[in-house]
Amino acid sequence: MLAVNSIGNLLEELRELLGEERATVNDTVRDLHGRDESYHAVRPSDLVVFPESTEEVAAVVKAAARHRIPIVPFGLGSSLEGHVIPYDGGITIDFSLMNQILEIHEDDFLVRVQPGVTRTQLNKELKKYGLFFSVDPGADATLGGMAATNASGTTTVKYGVMRDQVRDLEVVLADGTVIHTGSLAAKSASGLHLNGLFVGSEGTLGCFTELTLRVYGIPEQIAAARASFPTIDAAVTAVVSIQQAGIPISRVELVDEPSMQQVNRHAGTGYPVKPTLFLEFSGNEAGLRQDIEFTEEIVSDLGCDNLEFEMDQEGMNRLWEARHHLAYSYIHSHPGRKMMVTDVCVPISELAGAVHHARETVDNMGLIGGITGHVGDGNFHIILMIDMNNPDEVRKSDELNEAIVSYALDRNGTCTGEHGVGVGKLKYQAREHGAALGVMETIKRALDPENLMNPGKLFNPPKEEN
């Protein structure tokens, strides 16, 4: 806990800069900024600020540096590994008032936005230009938060992750310096790849105050489908076969049997309760027809007995909403329990084994949970609903997390494909990265020597010097 008088002095200074409403110690606001969407313990923020410009962010960061008080950048708070919880206290910088779409470069397929713009806000505007932004993590997250977690989602199999979309970031560093990490050029051989470094840095290297992002033309035709399989292994093998056949699928999502039950209950649908793939094809009419025919052959060879297409917008929206609301349907169906989502990513050739192992482990432990995921990338999630008052269940869910992560790391996968490290996956960093973790820590120390930017996330606290 921070000394009350250091926060008090800083509050006075920040109120002079931002006014009373935009620098607050209101209990409700502090509490809202002390949690995310996960099971990690809540810790209210000490002080929350709402800047409106890069200059204001830089001034807040400089003031915090002078008082040696930590800073936690905050987008929507939808992260799942405790990323925004200020365990070391300090100021939360909430970017919700920096929510302007600054420029749409139609001809360059680029947009420049402030970090508090959400992905649906951006897509609503881009639609007027026949364009769309591809990364879709389900939650209506902010683009700043999505860049900071290197978010990805249902469309990543075709368009890539957040890191692939970022052309430039404006970043306020820990000492208040403002830098740009890239340019508008489609490629560059000049200097180190700072976009790559800052994307995924989870607020530990600086605050993003502007982002320039790639956007895409809305495809001529889109078709969505649902394919049910007799077993989860058959569904996963179908994904691998579709990928290996080179079909340019734009989404392929796995939803296991218990999760299909949740989908039906929450969305009021009557989809078969079997391991299911949600698929999307996009492109021109001729190409689409070919892709669909080829996919039909592959899935029927693997025992798919129910392949249903949704061609109209309403049906497609219903299907993807059902998929996107899955996590919330688990939450609503299990009052009193907390959601723990673990997310790993493996090479596609290891996917079938990994999903099979995960399902078996959940069942053997007697836990409540489902498997779902962006399986086209080798990325899947286990959603567990835990009774946090039952120590046996909490212990088992930790053991399950360990087992799933170990399985992925043993096969040269990663402990998180998209949710990030936060505090939840810190303990796996040394095993996953080995000596490379030391390189990352050196970069962190160089950019933030006082360890004030979102301390305790992504990196373990620095060791005390003797």
Q: Where does this chain bind ligand FAD (CB under 6 A)?
A: 36-37, 72-80, 83-84, 95, 115, 137-139, 141-142, 144-146, 148-149, 151-153, 202-203, 207-208, 327, 418-420, 454, 457
Helical residues (DSSP H) of 245-385, grouped into ranges? 257-267, 285-301, 313-324, 326-333, 351-365
Cβ 391 to ligand FAD, closest distance in Å? 25
Residues 144/147/148/154 CA torsion (nearest 10 deg)? 110
Cβ 465 to ligand FAD, closest distance in Å? 27
State the Cα–Cα distance between residues 362 and 334, nearest whole angstrom: 17
**CB atoms inside a 10 Å sphere around CB 73:** 28
Cβ 246 to ligand FAD, closest distance in Å? 25
Q: Which is nearer to ligand FAD, 2 or 84 (CB)?
A: 84
Q: What are phi and psi of 273, to 5 degrees?
A: -90, 80
Q: Is 264 helix (H, G, I), strand (E, B) or coil?
A: helix
Distance of CA 311 to the CA centre of its chain: 28
Cβ 92 to ligand FAD, closest distance in Å? 9
Q: Which is nearer to ligand FAD, 135 or 234 (CB)?
A: 135
State the Cα–Cα distance between residues 123 and 358, nearest whole angstrom: 35
Q: Which is nearer to ligand FAD, 83 or 359 (CB)?
A: 83
Cβ 369 to ligand FAD, closest distance in Å? 15
Helical residues (DSSP H) of 215-312, grouped into ranges? 232-244, 257-267, 285-301
Cβ 125 to ligand FAD, closest distance in Å? 18
Q: Which is nearer to ligand FAD, 253 or 350 (CB)?
A: 253
> Smallest Cα–Cα separation from 320: which of 196, 403, 226, 210?
226
> Smallest Cα–Cα separation from 47: which of 66, 82, 74, 78?
74
Per the structure block, which two tokens stand in for 76? 């929507």
Cβ within 8 Å of residue 105, ≥6 positions away: 111, 112, 184
State the Cα–Cα distance between residues 122 and 129, nearest whole angstrom: 11
Amino acid identity of residue 370, one-letter, is G
Helical residues (DSSP H) of 2-77, grouped into ranges? 4-18, 27-32, 54-67
State the Cα–Cα distance between residues 233 and 342, nearest whole angstrom: 20
Cβ 461 to ligand FAD, closest distance in Å? 16
Q: Which is nearer to ligand FAD, 325 or 357 (CB)?
A: 325
Cβ 236 to ligand FAD, closest distance in Å? 18
Contact 371, 326 (CB under 8 A): no
Cβ 297 to ligand FAD, closest distance in Å? 29
**CB atoms inside a 10 Å sphere around CB 36:** 20
Q: Which is nearer to ligand FAD, 44 or 115 (CB)?
A: 115
Q: Whose CB is nearest to ligand FAD?
A: 145
Q: Which is nearer to ligand FAD, 137 or 275 (CB)?
A: 137
Q: Which is nearer to ligand FAD, 75 or 275 (CB)?
A: 75
Q: Which is nearer to ligand FAD, 115 or 182 (CB)?
A: 115
